[in-house]
Amino acid sequence: MQLFLGIDGGGTGCRAAVADASGRILARAEAGPANIASDLPGAMVNILRAADHALTELGAQPSMVRAGLGLAGANAAGVAEQLAATLPFAVARVVTDAVTAVMGALGEGDGIVAAMGTGSVFGVQRGGVVRQMGGRGLAMGDEGSGAWIGRAILARALRAVDGLEDMTPLLRALIDEAGGDDRVVAYSLTARPADYAALAPRVLTSGDAAAEAVMQAATDHVAAAVAVLQAGQDLPVVFLGGLGPTFAARLAGRWPIRPALGTALDGALRLARRDT
């Protein structure tokens, strides 16, 4: 019996599913983080652990399966090829988790996916071909993400201290809570994307003029990315992630907005079945 293995691996965990030729899920398993750019050896351990747990349940060997893997960090030069060459599966296709998220959310149809969480990444599928945009991390992008929003509001607070922006109640509160503008600068030296993203809910709900300015800038970034991927068409857009509903509401009416058909793990299984 031909088996197909899907792996969805990110910075917080790794999920595996095994399906038969009809698409019926036969087994599932989970393991630890699988970001192949930040920790390739650790990711390899967790990928194989999740796969082994799922396959052992079926009495199957890795060499019996065709695998599709959507992994965080697969857009870093060379790591996807390095991993694929060492995996024990009969066939191993490795792409970013953003690509499998697009494939899962859209199924066989054309459309655009905007995944908006701590980070941000966009993708379009046309005729079964997926193109990714963004997903390069906060240092190089992640526009509109929770981390971007949190960093932007703190940067605006510092600009307000310098007199370059109006000092609003939210900005003053952020400066005061930190213990002064120098403490905000010190915080920025060690803050992780998740730390910045923790400020995003406050920005979304404050009603402060500075918060709305940051959210408008974030919305403009998201709209620009989707417009480029539309390429003059009117493709449906799926918003994913914790901030997905926020941007779906802010951009309602600009393009058709649709719910996701499936998950990134569903997309990984689609990738495993490709060309069979």
> CA 201, CA 136: separation in Å to the nearest integer?
23
Q: How far is CA 184 from CA 27, 113, 119, 144, 233, in A?
A: 48, 34, 21, 21, 43
With cut-offs at 50, 70 and 90, classify the pLDDT of residue 22.
confident
pLDDT reading at 235 higher than 90: yes
pLDDT reading at 211 higher than 70: yes
Average pLDDT over residues 214-232: 97
Given the structure tokens 């699988």, which residue do they identify? 34
pLDDT at 29: 94
pLDDT reading at 270 higher than 90: yes
pLDDT at 216: 97
pLDDT reading at 248 higher than 80: yes
With cut-offs at 50, 70 and 90, classify the pLDDT of residue 79.
confident
* Stated pTM of the model: 0.85
Better-predicted residue by pLDDT, 105 or 82: 105
With cut-offs at 50, 70 and 90, classify the pLDDT of residue 19.
very high
Which domains occur in the chain, in start order? 3-106+261-273 (3.30.420.40), 108-155+193-260 (3.30.420.40)
Residues 161-207 pLDDT 10s: 999 999 999 999 999 999 999 999 999 999 988 899 999 999 999 99
Contacts of the segment 18-23: beta carbons below 8 A, 24+ positions apart: 18/54, 18/55, 18/58, 18/60, 18/65, 19/269, 19/272, 19/273, 21/276, 23/269, 23/273
pLDDT at 276: 60
The one-letter amino acid at 129: V
pLDDT reading at 136 higher than 90: no
> CA 40, CA 265: separation in Å to the nearest integer?
20
Average pLDDT over residues 126-137: 89
